[in-house]
Structure 1
């Protein structure tokens, strides 16, 4: 049996960020800055607003890669 779980506020948070800057997405996706902005503009890459800037959720990066795999016929 396991012991009691710590409250949600005390649980470990992953080291990876939840939100990425465009410059981060450019490096992670290995795409040009203009391509990333075009993906954002067309809605293929979801973004959220944080203050006056746009951020890309980690889940949106995963969703975009999954979309590319589906389009390539690579869904399993």
Structure 2
């Protein structure tokens, strides 16, 4: 007899995205999901300038390259965020 796992345990394959299908610009919430962090922490990174973002009209978007830059900088600094000049 086989018992199916609950939905919360199953791998959600909709989150696995082909890099060619990745959008160029993400909302702050989508960027947070990509980094696997909370929305509040992502907004903090964006507003402090740790992760660059752009405005299209009144909408703030995070270029996917800026997420890659942020992670690259984290790796280069031993996991520590660079201090930004105030």
User: Which bin holds the TM-score, normalised by the shorter protein?
Assistant: 0.7 to 0.9
Q: Distance in 1 between matches of 2:35 and 2:51?
A: 11
Give ranges in structure 1 of 5+ residues lacking alignment: 1-13
With normalisation by structure 1, the TM-score equals 0.73
> Per-residue deviation at 1:19?
0.2
Alignment of 1:12-27 (within 5 A): 14-27=20-33
CA RMSD, aligned part only?
1.2
TM-score (norm 2): 0.65
Q: Which structure 2 residue ranges, 5 or more long, are not aligned? A: 1-19, 80-86
State the aligned residue count: 60
1:55 aligns with 2:55: no
